[in-house]
Structure 1
Amino acid sequence: HTAPQVGRDRLARTRNVAGAFVGVPKRCAGQRVLLVDDVLTTGATAGEAALALREAGAAAVRVFTIARA
């Protein structure tokens, strides 16, 4: 669990979510993953989540967002 991202600048958002996500290798290995996020502001959360999925062996990670702030 992390503190809310609201009001944080890009660097603070990146630091806030660093290491916050873990991919499950058994579920990710060789899979193409679609990561869905409601709002993309700086991309820090989506980027960190995508990194965790790739480190768990995902073959590809794509991000889909509903809105951009």
Structure 2
Amino acid sequence: TPRQTAQGRRARRLGAQNLFYCEGEVRGRHLVVVDDVMTTGSTANAAAAALVAAGAASVSVLVAARTP
């Protein structure tokens, strides 16, 4: 996908929808998504939603930096 740095909140949210899917066996597992920089949280939210849809028991998100 193209970089989202110049996009606003709505464009980032829409750009992250249906971006991820899970092929592995995650049913019942507690998982962690690691993101380098979180701005709106759209990418991390989309990744977590795909994992939950695949059956993950829970998903935590760790980020290295957060923009204001």
TM-score when normalising by structure 1:
0.91
Corresponding residue number in structure 1 for 2:26: 28
* Structure with the higher fraction of residues in helix conformation: 1
* 2:44 paired residue among 28, 43, 46: 46
Q: Is the 8 A contact 1:46 1:63 kept in 2?
A: yes
| Unaligned ranges ≥5, structure 2 | none
The secondary structure found in structure 1 opposite 2:25 is helix
Q: Distance in 2 between matches of 1:27 and 1:66?
A: 27
The secondary structure found in structure 1 opposite 2:40 is coil
In the comparison of the two structures, how many residue pairs are matched? 67
RMSD: 0.9
What is the Cα deviation at residue 52 of structure 1?
A: 0.3
Q: Is the 8 A contact 1:22 1:53 kept in 2?
A: yes
Q: Distance in 2 between matches of 1:33 and 1:5?
A: 25
Q: Distance in 2 between matches of 1:3 and 1:19?
A: 15
Q: Distance in 2 between matches of 1:41 and 1:60?
A: 22
Regions of 4+ moved over 4 Å: none
